[in-house]
Structure 1
Amino acid sequence: MAEKLIIRLGSHIHDPVHWLVWSNTETNIIASGELASASLLAELHDKSLTRQVLVLVPACDVALKQLKVPAKSKKAMQLAAPFMLEDDLAQDVEQLFFAYGDVKSADNQHNCFMAAIERQQMQLWLSWLADANIKVLCMLPDALALPDASDKWQAIQLGQQVILRQGDWQGITVDASLWPNICQTFSSEAIKVIESYSPLPEADVALEIESQPEELPLALMAQQLSGQKINLLQGEFAVKSDRSPLLKTWAWAAGFLVVALLVNVMLKSLTLMKINQQQVEIEQQIVATYKQAFPETRRVRIATIRSQLKRKMRAVGSGDHQAEFLALLAKVQPAFAAVPQLKPDSLRFDGKRNELRLQATADGYQQFEQFKVQLESQQLSVSQGTQNNQGDKVTGAFSIKASNGGRS
């Protein structure tokens, strides 16, 4: 998509939510703003419908770790890594969710780059977005969305928090009021130059700060998101992709096509009696169709079925109109299947009128009416003759032809 909706959530539902619409093609801000709390996220729903949605979360809620894990496969590495950190984490491993970054170590000192987040916090963020009906493709810590800090640290103040990136896989987010205390810890480190894209709170520690042209924090981060190295939405929180409306339309079309092909195959299978096929499956289908049409037949051999069928058709008067007879018979067959109590006594085909004349026996008058309804549902024109009681059975006649009076 040409535009992105970037949403930066807080740790708690009452924390402010910053948002920005960014144009990829124009590399420019379309709109931006701030919500008083996450409970108002529904106000961004309309903006999310036609844009790619990326969510930033405070790095203070994400522990970024890099390890050297002795494992031969990626799966084995990810199984072992959480337990290697067990002593360094404040929570139990079972309470945490671990996401893994796509990072290459320049010095080969590390081969596993991971982010640990409380599972409950992940569920909380996603519940806010779900309540607002906002679908998200990517979520990452805000500190990693700052420019690459390979040579210098990068910092910017967002609302009442300072975001600092200290390395390729290192960064923090702290309350502005705590910035002076955090700076005290830098005195024991080989601190690099800090490039700041906004004024920072004053600190008692002398820091080498290089002021950069001031940027709107989310606009600065938007320019880095195309090369993000981690998406927290993985594993149990991975995004389940929905089928697009276009794909659904094609699926329906493919379904109708399959049905049409099946119907076509069924109709053509009746004409396969003229063809000497060697495939066992087709031979069985021919035999089954023959027995269904002529249930009085006991034994059927595939080698002689063609001549037997010709004799049957001559007996019912089909003459030289075999194709019309077979097509009409194919439409009559489903009615026999639907009303099995009605049994044919005789069939005769009038080639000149393209009409099938049927004498049948059933248990009662109701079966004759049901049979007629089934024939008419096959777009056939049905004339019903007189019906007579023969003991506990009823006999009757039908004249059947295509509704248009032409070829079936």
Structure 2
Amino acid sequence: MSYRLYVRPLPPFTDPGENPDDRLFNWVLYDAGGDAQAQGSSDFRSTIEQTLSQNGLEDVLLVGLIPGDEALFCVADIPAKQSRFINQALPYAVEEQIAQDIDSVHLALGLHTQEGYRVAAVDRDRMAQWLELFRDWSHARLDAIYPDASLLPMTEGGWSVCLDGESAMMASDRGEWLSMQSANLGMFAHTMAMPPSEDVVAEVPVVIYATESEFEEQQTLLGELMVPGRLSVRQESLELMPLELLAHAHYHHLCHPINLCQRDFSVKGGKASPLKPWKPLIAVAAVWFVVQVTLEAGMGLYYQQQAEDMRQQAMTVYRDAFPNDRKAHAGNVKRVIEGQLRIAGSDGPDVDFVTLMKYTGQQYSSVASTGSVTFNSINYSQSRGELVVDVRAESYDRLSTLRNGLAGQGLDAKIGSVVNEASGARGRLTVSGG
């Protein structure tokens, strides 16, 4: 995780983009472990950049904080779940909550809650000025821009208030935030005293953050917040500036702010990819790979088609020579032809009793040498040209081996009437010329 630099500009805010080199900032630098390593107040941008350079820091994530009253908190009740439809419906869902032309407002989407989507609305021109103020810093890249009040740590069921000179930042556990003059904080006490839900709540908790000097100067104001039976006020002292409280809450996920750098003002593409110089070469390699794969696939299909054509031609020739044979196919035609040639070479075109006995005897000798195989009886039908042998073997596998051996010689061999007994298996082997 990279270092984070939290930067908060000081007033006046009439034109954030004017003379950025002359603008003053409060800032705090957090390391990857979540500890503040450096901070400063009322410093120029060049001073902050020089501090980063002196510490050898590069690519620091910059988080810009703008006044809370620059962005308006809204809630959008949108039933859609896909981001494309949500973005299309977003302007219409919050239009009535914004007192200016919706086309001149930049909308940033936050978390989805039971009430709807949390939304931050900021004037487009002002957002462009804030974006210009925070980007292109040396040794840092802009990661996010938040309304400062939205970074206050949440108080469950109540409000968080931070006194900051003449202004006060406030945020509720519902995600809403606002900034106002400290002098008007007492007038807002009635609003804070309203429970966040319909549940009966004796007192609404309010946590006030300020420095010790702020608490001493604002005693009268704090007295106005002490609404008996309505608000439960607790004071938390700050050792340094309020920015450190905001940075601590954000870094440790004690709040749920809305990043304003979305859509037209997104900064996610700001960091150059380390692969950018290699993109042309990667593109050429990708094109070559696609072409090569396409070529190999095409050649494979071509050779497969050629092989299929040759098999069909072989079967055509075989069908012409043996029109009555329906058992041969492209997968076994070679073996069938070899068997027929061996038979024809030994006994001519007719397969008689002697020929069948010759091949059956050869296979019997081969199988009997590896296991117990016995011929019980032999019958020959001259009209059918079949040799029928009653065979007994120690297992059906021996019978199957005998049949397969005869089939391998080009003969038609079948085993029927198989009976499995305790002593082995017996069946009827029928052999013909194929």
Following the alignment from structure 1 to structure 2, what is the Cα–Cα distance between the partners of residues 189 and 240? 37
Following the alignment from structure 1 to structure 2, what is the Cα–Cα distance between the partners of residues 50 and 84? 38
Query: 1:122-133 counterparts in 2 under 5 A?
Result: 122-130=127-135, 132=137
Tell me the alpha carbon deviations over residues 22-53 of structure 1, each in whole angstroms, 9 at most, x when there is no partner: 1231x3221111236xxx43443353733111
Tell me the alpha carbon deviations over residues 369-391 of structure 1, each in whole angstroms, 9 at most, x when there is no partner: xxxxxxxxxxxxxxxxxxxxxxx
Aligned partner of 1:323 in structure 2 is none
TM-score, length-normalised on structure 1?
0.54
State the secondary structure of the residue aligned to 1:193.
strand
Aligned partner of 1:7 in structure 2 is 7
Following the alignment from structure 1 to structure 2, what is the Cα–Cα distance between the partners of residues 67 and 215? 38
Asked if structure 1 preserves the Cα contact closer than 8 Å seen for 2:65 and 2:147, the reply is yes
> Structure 1 218/258 Cα, relative in aligned 2: closer, same or farther at 3 Å?
same
Tell me the alpha carbon deviations over residues 116-174 of structure 1, each in whole angstroms, 9 at most, x when there is no partner: 00111110111122464552111112122111232332222345432221233111122
Which of 192, 195, 205 in structure 2 is aligned with 1:193?
A: 205
- 1:149 has 2:168 as partner: no
Following the alignment from structure 1 to structure 2, what is the Cα–Cα distance between the partners of residues 211 and 56? 24
State the secondary structure of the residue aligned to 2:126.
helix
- 1:17 has 2:28 as partner: no
Query: 1:4-403 counterparts in 2 under 5 A?
Result: 4-10=4-10, 11-12=13-14, 13=16, 16-25=24-33, 27-35=34-42, 40-46=44-50, 47=52, 49-71=58-80, 73-104=82-113, 108=114, 110-130=115-135, 132=137, 135-158=141-164, 160-174=166-180, 178-190=181-193, 192-198=204-210, 199-200=214-215, 201=218, 202-203=220-221, 205-207=224-226, 208-216=232-240, 217-226=242-251, 227=253, 228-242=256-270, 244=272, 246-248=274-276, 251=279, 254=282
Shift of 1:196: 2.1
Asked if structure 1 preserves the Cα contact closer than 8 Å seen for 2:165 and 2:182, the reply is no
State the secondary structure of the residue aligned to 1:101.
strand
Following the alignment from structure 2 to structure 1, what is the Cα–Cα distance between the partners of residues 159 and 23? 26
Asked if structure 1 preserves the Cα contact closer than 8 Å seen for 2:189 and 2:225, the reply is no
Q: Which amino acid aligns with 1:223?
A: H
Gaps of 5+ in 2: 17-21, 195-203, 227-231, 303-434
Asked if structure 2 preserves the Cα contact closer than 8 Å seen for 1:54 and 1:139, the reply is yes
Shift of 1:61: 0.7
> Structure 1 35/253 Cα, relative in aligned 2: closer, same or farther at 3 Å?
farther
> Structure 1 215/164 Cα, relative in aligned 2: closer, same or farther at 3 Å?
farther
Gaps of 5+ in 1: 270-276, 281-408
Following the alignment from structure 1 to structure 2, what is the Cα–Cα distance between the partners of residues 257 and 77? 38
Number of aligned residue pairs: give it. 259
Compute the RMSD of aligned alpha carbons.
Answer: 3.6
> Structure 1 197/93 Cα, relative in aligned 2: closer, same or farther at 3 Å?
same
TM-score, length-normalised on structure 2?
0.51
Shift of 1:253: 6.8
Shift of 1:74: 4.2
Following the alignment from structure 1 to structure 2, what is the Cα–Cα distance between the partners of residues 236 and 259? 32
Following the alignment from structure 1 to structure 2, what is the Cα–Cα distance between the partners of residues 73 and 248? 31
Following the alignment from structure 2 to structure 1, what is the Cα–Cα distance between the partners of residues 245 and 282? 46
| Runs of 4+ more than 4 Å apart | 70-74, 131-134, 242-245, 249-262, 277-280
Following the alignment from structure 1 to structure 2, what is the Cα–Cα distance between the partners of residues 244 and 49? 14
Asked if structure 1 preserves the Cα contact closer than 8 Å seen for 2:168 and 2:185, the reply is no
Q: Which amino acid aligns with 2:45?
A: L
Following the alignment from structure 2 to structure 1, what is the Cα–Cα distance between the partners of residues 271 and 25? 30
Q: Which amino acid aligns with 1:205?
A: E
Tell me the alpha carbon deviations over residues 312-348 of structure 1, each in whole angstroms, 9 at most, x when there is no partner: xxxxxxxxxxxxxxxxxxxxxxxxxxxxxxxxxxxxx
> Structure 1 45/245 Cα, relative in aligned 2: closer, same or farther at 3 Å?
farther
Aligned partner of 1:398 in structure 2 is none
Asked if structure 2 preserves the Cα contact closer than 8 Å seen for 1:197 and 1:215, the reply is no
Shift of 1:4: 0.9
Following the alignment from structure 2 to structure 1, what is the Cα–Cα distance between the partners of residues 192 and 122? 26
Q: Which has the larger radius of gyration?
A: 2
Aligned partner of 1:397 in structure 2 is none
> Structure 1 121/130 Cα, relative in aligned 2: closer, same or farther at 3 Å?
same
Shift of 1:255: 7.0
Asked if structure 2 preserves the Cα contact closer than 8 Å seen for 1:5 and 1:22, the reply is yes
Identical pairs, percent? 21
Q: Which amino acid aligns with 1:185?
A: F
> Structure 1 61/259 Cα, relative in aligned 2: closer, same or farther at 3 Å?
closer
Following the alignment from structure 1 to structure 2, what is the Cα–Cα distance between the partners of residues 130 and 143? 21
Shift of 1:101: 0.1
> Structure 1 188/143 Cα, relative in aligned 2: closer, same or farther at 3 Å?
closer
Shift of 1:78: 3.5
Q: Which amino acid aligns with 2:208?
A: S
